[in-house]
Copies of this chain bind each other. A is one copy, B any other.
Amino acid sequence: MNTKQSFGEYLRKLREDQNLPIRKVASKLDIDPSTLGKIERGERSANKEMLPVLAELFGIEEKTLGLILFSDKVAYQIIEEENTNEILKVAEEKIKYLKNKNLKQGSLDLK
């Protein structure tokens, strides 16, 4: 996993390695080519529904794509803060706590 690449850069590389034009991938995703171009350049965000389509198209685990996409989103959300590592650590603990709580009880609801 190359963490020096954003989701968009990763996607572009996949696409170019296969010599596919934006147009074709966009059509598979059922979005405007211009939108896909923006996603590749990081000017718009991809969404979860695109992942299974891309996974199949490029023969990559959907989970891997999700990992790249969500880590991007998390990074973007906190990169302006100073104590990013601490934030991530506390977030990890909160998630652990909440998931566990959730196993034992009903559904959750955070904001």
Contacts of A76 in B (CB 8 A): 110-111
The smallest beta-carbon distance between A24 and chain B, in angstroms, is 23
The smallest beta-carbon distance between A20 and chain B, in angstroms, is 23
The A57-94 residues at the B interface (CB cut-off 8 A) are: 63, 66-68, 70-79, 81-88, 90-94
Q: What is the oligomeric copy number?
A: 2
Contacts of A109 in B (CB 8 A): 42
Interface size class of chain A, counting residues whose CB lies under 8 Å from the partner chain: 35 or more
Taking a contact as CB atoms under 8 Å apart, the answer to whether A70 and B81 are in contact is yes
User: A28 within 8 Å of B by Cβ?
Assistant: no
The smallest beta-carbon distance between A29 and chain B, in angstroms, is 17
User: A103 within 8 Å of B by Cβ?
Assistant: no
A-B contact pairs, 21 of them (CB 8 A): A3-B90, A4-B97, A6-B94, A42-B111, A43-B111, A67-B83, A67-B86, A67-B90, A68-B90, A70-B77, A70-B81, A72-B91, A75-B94, A75-B95, A75-B98, A77-B77, A78-B95, A79-B95, A79-B99, A84-B95, A88-B88
